[in-house]
Amino acid sequence: MSESGFPYVGARRVTRSRFLTLERGYYRTPDGGWMVRELIRHPGCVVVIPWDGRTIRMIRQFRAAAGTTLLELPAGKLDVPGEPPEVTARREAIEEIGMRPGRLRLLHRTFLSPGFTDEVCHIYLAEDLEPVAVDPQGAEERHAEIVTMTLEEVTAELGRGSIIDAKTLIGCYALLGAREP
């Protein structure tokens, strides 16, 4: 029996897209029954908290699935096979906000929606930022706005509930928790 009490029996792939796979997973339950779940297999993502000791750089961009523009920390999929999350984080900071991190520190790893996907998000604190040319990688990024905010302004936005992107919320609270008093 597995540690969870729900031994994995196997899966059948339903469909595959450019980077997602939908499968039907089969499990035994602790009472001897069966359980079937639809699962989205995702390569994972990174979030970058560009912090210069006083301000954070974020991006305001349209998100088709949400149908609106969101204020977010720079982020991206682990969509380059074999690329370590730290390398992806550096690349995303350059692409989205034109900043090359001199130092990256993993603050947190989290599942964003474990009820249906195995996507793991790696949240990095990026410091010693060097300005470089922005390198947008799609229509949303080309039309995005880079926003620089103090920690007090970010905290106020969190209090107002105006930051509604989960990975950004987790990243902001991870930064607040990681700061030295």
The 55-63 sheet, strands edge to edge: 68-72, 55-63, 145-150
**Cα distances (Å, whole numbers) of residue 18 to 15, 21, 22, 76:** 10, 9, 12, 15
The 45-50 sheet, strands edge to edge: 75-77, 45-50, 120-131, 99-111
Is 130 annotated as catalytic? no
Contacts of 77 (CB under 8 A, 6+ apart): 19, 42, 43, 44, 45, 88
Contacts of 55 (CB under 8 A, 6+ apart): 148, 149, 150, 151
Which sign, positive or negative, has the C-alpha torsion 77, 81, 82, 87?
Answer: negative
Catalytic residue among 23, 127, 140, 157: 140
Question: Which residues belong to the active site?
Answer: 140
